[in-house]
């Protein structure tokens, strides 16, 4: 290269670096008139044209430089031009050509990894990022991008490890701390989420989004006041953000500060009267307060503003169902499904509405479709290990894997209620593998359930079976209706040794023995449950001994009540449902709200009186005093929403008539 060309090239490069592109372009082109094969000028002019969005010309000049003098640097530049022009295949090929010439360049491996990621070739992207960090162990950006890939793949722990590696190199990287916080939040490890968000906030103060994330995380840890403080800071920074008032309102709700929540939601409406989510949240709030008319008006206002608000339709349907307006609820669910036919919750809810209306064929069809959609939406299909779900076809000579599914909301009561169908499956010539809650395994084994009942360590990728089915799908597959439900007389058995042990220790008397349950987990359907005080009229009856079967939630009510009434606390002796069953076997009557004990007692064939809300769960239907599921059950329904006193007056009256 002559001194004259060399000097011109340096001048052009100075203009180029300074962003004075027209002058730089003129000089590059002048150099190429004098020296058409000057690869530096060809490459630099190509990069300049790339900056000017003249991608075709840029490719031609850099490609000409490569033709004359192949180099990893030129190939890398050409790859960058292709990437920015969204020509990923040619970019990958250019980077590959560069790596042939220089496989030790970590930045090249980083570039090709990004290209593979753009092309959705995640496996190759991971390999190339790994190669980059092997060459350059302090390559923070490569670790960060690996974290992003693993995060998108749903590998939370892997993503956290890569983000932590990025932080080891660059401790003040805010994005890594935020991403780790988000992943801990997703894992429901809220304490660690708080630590990461707090660190990010220390690095980047006055970040509104971080105050919000901290507020949400602290609320999850039960530190409501701290959460409120962070949201208030966020609101000071963005006082006209209606979404912040909604978020703060939800925090108040989680802390059972209902009035403050309503105030926040209404402030959000002052900021933005057209925010349909505010009306929706107010609907939820007033529904929880049992102010159904207000709740309905807010749900309808949310739908008026946003006619495609499927969650509002769904919740309005639930509200109408709880008001006893089943047909109206079905119409509302149908509106939601017109907008989104594969909406899982609306399908399942319309299914239960049909069931409670005794339209069993359509009810089971929609209920099962809702369960299937939830499998897809929430990834529950992992339980299938890639094998088909049973559809009711012949099982002769086949192995079926049957399981409870936590994510469906399936609880102990569901497992007890639907385990009855295993006898029918067994009679088809099937081998059954059963996965149920650990607390039920001993009970089901002693009841001779026709299945191999699995332990936790049995459930892995090596489990061999032909088809699978969740327990909650069984009544739909067998098209259950009040006439064809099997084993209504009972199908579970007790352990005679345990029964005798309980008899000697607690039941050596001639009185009428009543077991009571008044509450379940308040996280679910609080309106199902009542206070132990409502059982006073039962405890006051002569010739009656009362036994508490309550375990866990609600037992705190027992202490004060026992000081006035003699109640034997059996719940504290229960290790699992086998113990509970042994105690129940010694009782003459069980009076219970709608909990798992309902199903256990009914499945044992014991006389059971169930206390039901105004509109109960679908399985108890409407307007009948007996149960299609258990012959030994009698139903006592609320005649007026929330009025348990009247229900218990009828219970006491019936008891007196039975005992006299």
Residue-by-residue DSSP string for 344-407: HHHHHHHHHHHHHTT-HHHHHHHHHHHHHHHHHHHTGGGGGTTPPBP-S---TT-EEEEE--GG
What's the pLDDT band for 639 if we cut at 50, 70, 90?
A: very high
Q: Which residues pair with 591 in a beta bridge?
A: 516, 609
Residue 259, Cβ density class (10 Å: 0-12 exposed, 13-18 middle, ≥19 buried): exposed
Instruction: Say whether pLDDT at 564 is over 90.
Output: no
Phi, psi for 432 (deg, rounded to 5): -115, 130
- Look at residue 462 in the predicted model and tell me its pLDDT: 85
State the average pLDDT over residues 42-63: 93
Instruction: Say whether pLDDT at 493 is over 60.
Output: yes
State the average pLDDT over residues 84-97: 93
What's the pLDDT band for 101 if we cut at 50, 70, 90?
A: very high
Please answer whether residues 342 and 373 qualify as being in contact, where contact means their C-beta atoms are separated by less than 8 angstroms: yes
Phi, psi for 591 (deg, rounded to 5): -115, 115
What's the pLDDT band for 435 if we cut at 50, 70, 90?
A: very high
- Look at residue 456 in the predicted model and tell me its pLDDT: 87
- Look at residue 370 in the predicted model and tell me its pLDDT: 87
Phi, psi for 523 (deg, rounded to 5): -65, -25
Q: How high is the mean pLDDT of the chain? A: 93
What's the pLDDT band for 334 if we cut at 50, 70, 90?
A: very high
Instruction: Say whether pLDDT at 195 is over 70.
Output: yes
Instruction: Say whether pLDDT at 331 is over 70.
Output: yes
Please answer whether residues 426 and 487 qualify as being in contact, where contact means their C-beta atoms are separated by less than 8 angstroms: no
Nearest to 516 by CA among 498, 489, 537: 537
State the average pLDDT over residues 90-114: 93
- Look at residue 406 in the predicted model and tell me its pLDDT: 64
Instruction: Say whether pLDDT at 381 is over 70.
Output: no
What's the pLDDT band for 378 if we cut at 50, 70, 90?
A: low
What's the pLDDT band for 459 if we cut at 50, 70, 90?
A: confident
- Look at residue 523 in the predicted model and tell me its pLDDT: 64
First to last CA, the chain: 119
Q: What is the DSSP letter of 455?
A: P
Sheet with 633-637: list strands edge to edge: 567-569, 544-548, 512-517, 589-593, 608-612, 633-637
- Look at residue 252 in the predicted model and tell me its pLDDT: 93
Instruction: Say whether pLDDT at 382 is over 70.
Output: no
What's the pLDDT band for 520 if we cut at 50, 70, 90?
A: confident
- Look at residue 372 in the predicted model and tell me its pLDDT: 82
State the average pLDDT over residues 507-536: 87
Q: How far apart are CA 52 and CA 563, in angstroms?
A: 86
Among 6-15, 157-166, 576-585, where is mean pLDDT lowest?
6-15
- Look at residue 2 in the predicted model and tell me its pLDDT: 64
Task: Render pLDDT for 389-434 as a digit per residue (tens, 0 to 9).
Answer: 899 999 999 999 999 976 555 689 999 999 999 999 999 999 999 9
Sign of the C-alpha dihedral computed for residues 555, 557, 560 and 561 taken in this order = negative
Domains of the chain: 381-477 (3.40.50), 496-659 (3.40.50.2000)
Instruction: Say whether pLDDT at 562 is over 80.
Output: no
- Look at residue 524 in the predicted model and tell me its pLDDT: 61
Q: How far apart are CA 505 and CA 495, in angstroms?
A: 16
What's the pLDDT band for 305 if we cut at 50, 70, 90?
A: very high
Q: How far apart are CA 425 and CA 378, in angstroms?
A: 28
Q: Which residues pair with 626 in a beta bridge?
A: 634
| CA distances in angstroms from 363 to 123, 241, 349, listed in the order given | 44, 43, 9
């Amino acid at each position: 290269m002559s001194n004259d060309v060399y000097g011109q090239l340096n001048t052009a490069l100075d203009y180029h670096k300074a962003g004075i592109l027209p002058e730089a372009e003129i000089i590059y082109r002048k150099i190429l008139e004098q020296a058409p094969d000057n690869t530096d000028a060809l490459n630099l002019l190509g990069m300049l044209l790339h900056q000017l969005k003249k991608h075709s010309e840029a490719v031609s000049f850099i490609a000409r430089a490569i033709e004359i003098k192949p180099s990893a640097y030129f190939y890398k530049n050409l790859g960058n031009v292709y990437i920015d022009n969204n020509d990923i295949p040619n970019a990958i090929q250019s980077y590959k050509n560069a790596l042939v010439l220089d496989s030790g360049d970590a930045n090249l491996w980083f570039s090709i990894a990004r290209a593979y990621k753009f092309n959705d070739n995640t496996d190759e992207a991971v390999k190339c990022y790994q190669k980059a960090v092997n060459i350059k162990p302090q390559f923070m950006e490569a670790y960060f991008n690996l974290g992003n890939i693993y995060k998108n793949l749903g590998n939370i722990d892997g993503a956290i490890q890569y983000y932590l590696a990025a932080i080891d190199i660059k401790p003040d990287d805010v994005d890594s701390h935020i991403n780790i916080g988000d992943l801990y939040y997703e894992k429901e490890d809220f304490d660690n989420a708080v630590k990461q968000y707090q660190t990010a906030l220390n690095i980047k103060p006055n970040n509104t989004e971080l105050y919000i994330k901290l507020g949400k995380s602290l609320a999850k840890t039960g530190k409501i006041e701290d959460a409120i403080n962070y949201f208030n800071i966020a609101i000071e920074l963005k006082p006209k953000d209606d979404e912040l008032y909604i978020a703060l309102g939800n925090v108040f709700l989680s802390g059972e500060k209902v009035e403050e929540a309503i105030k926040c939601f209404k402030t959000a409406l002052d900021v933005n009267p057209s925010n349909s989510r505010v009306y929706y949240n107010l609907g939820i709030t007033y529904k929880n307060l049992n102010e159904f008319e207000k709740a309905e008006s807010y749900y309808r206002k949310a739908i008026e503003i946003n006619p495609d608000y499927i969650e509002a339709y769904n919740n309005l349907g639930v509200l109408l169902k709880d008001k006893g307006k089943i047909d109206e609820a079905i119409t509302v669910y149908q509106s939601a499904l017109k907008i989104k036919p594969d909406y899982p919750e609306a399908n399942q809810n319309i299914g239960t509405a049909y069931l409670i209306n005794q339209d069993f064929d359509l009810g089971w069809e929609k209920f099962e479709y809702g369960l299937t959609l939830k499998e897809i939406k929430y990834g529950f299909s992992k339980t299938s290990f890639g094998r088909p779900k049973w559809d009711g076809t012949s099982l002769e000579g086949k192995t079926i894997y049957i399981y409870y599914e936590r994510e469906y909301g399936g609880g102990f009561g569901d497992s007890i209620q639907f385990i009855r169908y295993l006898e029918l499956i067994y009679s088809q010539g099937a081998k059954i593998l059963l996965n149920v809650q650990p607390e039920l395994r001993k009970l089901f084994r002693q009841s001779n359930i026709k299945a191999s009942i699995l332990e936790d360590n049995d459930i892995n990728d090596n489990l061999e079976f032909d088809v699978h089915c969740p327990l909650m799908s069984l009544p739909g597959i067998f098209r259950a209706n009040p006439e064809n439900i099997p084993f209504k007389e009972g199908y579970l058995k007790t352990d005679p040794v345990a029964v005798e042990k309980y008899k000697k220790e607690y039941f050596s008397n001639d009185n009428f023995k009543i077991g009571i349950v008044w509450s379940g987990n308040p996280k679910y359907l609080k309106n199902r449950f009542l206070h132990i005080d409502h059982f006073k009229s039962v405890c006051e009856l002569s010739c009656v001994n009362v036994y508490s079967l309550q375990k866990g939630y609600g037992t705190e009510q027992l202490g004060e009540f026992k000081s006035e009434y003699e109640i034997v606390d059996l719940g504290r002796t229960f290790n699992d449902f086998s113990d509970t069953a042994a105690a129940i076997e010694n009782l003459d009557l069980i009076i219970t709200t709608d909990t798992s004990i309902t199903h256990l007692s009914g499945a044992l064939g014991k006389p059971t009186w169930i206390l039901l809300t105004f509109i109960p769960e679908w399985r108890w239907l409407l307007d009948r005093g007996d149960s299609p599921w258990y012959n030994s059950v009698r139903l006592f329904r609320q005649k007026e929403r929330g009025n348990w006193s009247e229900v218990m007056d009828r219970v006491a009256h019936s008891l007196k008539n039975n005992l006299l």
